[in-house]
Chains A and B, each alone.
Chain A
């Protein structure tokens, strides 16, 4: 199991869950898969908890899991207004990488990547983590030069990153078009071999099952309607299923962070925008890596089912409508077809939008607030999935100890007053 010097908490599962293995799969096949143990309980909310996490997506469930496994806080609950992983956790394009330029970003995203390596063993859940590499393409000389600067900065932080020529890219990805006479020609690129994909739903389910095993109550269909305060202190959470008393509340609700912040009288510098993705009909394997292009805001990979998974850039106006605006995928698909002519007759099966909370500096907010016991983990914008384990790990530490650790510290809300921004807009090589 990967170790990397991180306190991963209790390893594997406790005694209340039967372990998943090839053997258990065979044994359950004998009874037509009718007797699998329930992965997590449908918990009823108790009157009081030591901590309540609002938001049952990947980040929220990871937070709960690490609170229980690393910090021994097991009298906690995760409350979710819909169903587990039904928000942005189930709407992203599952890409994982840590090739960010600034030191602060490298620290948190690589912390996450180290947790990804070994997460399936930690959780005893096949999250289908596949380090198939993430290749970011440059389409102009200017972009290529800027990319080499970034690659060197990334390597100085000990994160693997290699520049590739168009010929090497063609060799690595035979379906790509490296003709220099197209609108977005391939001028070069850089590869993070440790990057890749994981099955997003499995990440939510794996964390939920492991957290439940440690005693965490996971309460679905329970919407927060208000936050109860006594002076400057949090005392409880009002929900559609009654009042839940608690002294610590961790808010991990992505696109709806501003609304929960309003309930507490806290302001966040966030703008909620739709981020769109598309999935094609399944085809034979043609792409065994992840391709990203920042100039066109396009990223593409192929799922294990054979579907091409394409993601676009964020929409240009705020919206809570989970559908998005047409010009965005139109532009992205035009570039995708030019880069991969083989896709030209592919039919898209599904198209959706998720509401992401974008921050002015394209970096997250992991922070205490002016209200004692109220913590926010938000602002991940368009790139939160890759950080799921790392985000949960440092946020759990913040909630348990009421002070940020070294990795989380730069992400405090205060940075918008001090000016110590972590400006990842251009720096990360992000089609965020």
Chain B
């Protein structure tokens, strides 16, 4: 049984939560510029590491708010909880975020047409 520390309600039993799968998947807004193979990366292909995983959770039977978590899929240990829209601060979380294949995918690049050149 996981004890999950909801950032709004505190530590609660996992039965109150639903898991939303991999975090940081940006919708390719410029989808017309990418092909079907690249769009499939966004739609169906998910990171499935044996180790550190960044994922979304929702306190479904509580405050109903979403948040992100860094969890080790081997031990089920939750290493860090951080807000939606934010990035992990823990070393393991930062590394997992940077090393994810998605960072270099065409689908993710197509997600930020407006910020092109700024970052």
A282 smallest CB distance to B (angstroms): 28
User: Contacts A326-B1, A327-B15 given: A271-B21 contact, CB under 8 Å?
Assistant: yes
A321 — nearest CB in chain B belongs to which residue?
B76
Between A256, A271, A317, A320, the greatest number of chain B beta carbons within 10 A of the residue's beta carbon is seen for A317
A413 smallest CB distance to B (angstroms): 10
How far, in angstroms, from A320 to B55 measured CA to CA in the complex? 15
Chain A, 318-334, CB within 8 A of any chain B CB? 318-321, 325-327
Q: Are A317 and B75 in contact (CB under 8 A)?
A: no
Q: Is A12 an interface residue (CB 8 A)?
A: no
Chain A, 378-432, CB within 8 A of any chain B CB? 416-418
| Residues of chain A lying within 8 A (CB to CB) of residue B37 | 417
Q: Which of B25-33, B43-51, B88-96, B106-114 contacts the other chain?
A: B43-51
Q: Are B101 and A267 in contact (CB under 8 A)?
A: yes
Q: Is A210 an interface residue (CB 8 A)?
A: no
Q: Is the interface of A mostly helix, strand, loop or mixed?
A: loop
Q: Is B74 an interface residue (CB 8 A)?
A: yes
B45 — nearest CB in chain A belongs to which residue?
A269
Bits for A226-269, please: 1 = Cβ < 8 Å to B, else 0. 00000000000000000000000000000010110000000111
| Residues of chain A lying within 8 A (CB to CB) of residue B101 | 267
Chain B, 80-100, CB within 8 A of any chain A CB? none
Q: Is A161 an interface residue (CB 8 A)?
A: no
Q: Size range of the interface on A?
A: 20 to 34
A261 — nearest CB in chain B belongs to which residue?
B48
Q: Are B74 and A321 in contact (CB under 8 A)?
A: yes
User: Contacts A267-B101, A269-B44, A327-B14 given: A321-B50 contact, CB under 8 Å?
Assistant: no
Q: Is A170 an interface residue (CB 8 A)?
A: no
| Residues of chain B lying within 8 A (CB to CB) of residue A272 | 48, 50, 73
Q: Which of A318, A327, A360, A416 contacts B73 (CB 8 A)?
A: A318
User: Contacts A267-B101, A325-B1, A418-B36 given: A319-B48 contact, CB under 8 Å?
Assistant: no
How far, in angstroms, from A327 to B40 measured CA to CA in the complex? 33
| Residues of chain B lying within 8 A (CB to CB) of residue A316 | 18-19
Q: Are B1 and A259 in contact (CB under 8 A)?
A: no
Chain B, 45-65, CB within 8 A of any chain A CB? 45-46, 48-50, 53, 55
Q: Which of A318, A360, A418 contacts B53 (CB 8 A)?
A: A318
Q: Which of A256, A326, A416, A418 contacts B45 (CB 8 A)?
A: A416
Chain A to chain B: the 5 pairs with minimum beta-carbon distance, closest first = A258-B48, A317-B19, A269-B44, A327-B15, A416-B44
Q: What residues of chain B have their CB less than 8 Å away from a CB belonging to chain A?
A: 1-2, 14-15, 18-19, 21, 36-37, 40-41, 43-46, 48-50, 53, 55, 71, 73-76, 101
Beyond known contacts A268-B45, A320-B50: 15 more, CB 8 A cutoff: A258-B49, A258-B50, A269-B40, A272-B50, A316-B19, A317-B71, A318-B48, A320-B73, A326-B1, A327-B14, A416-B43, A416-B44, A416-B45, A417-B36, A417-B37
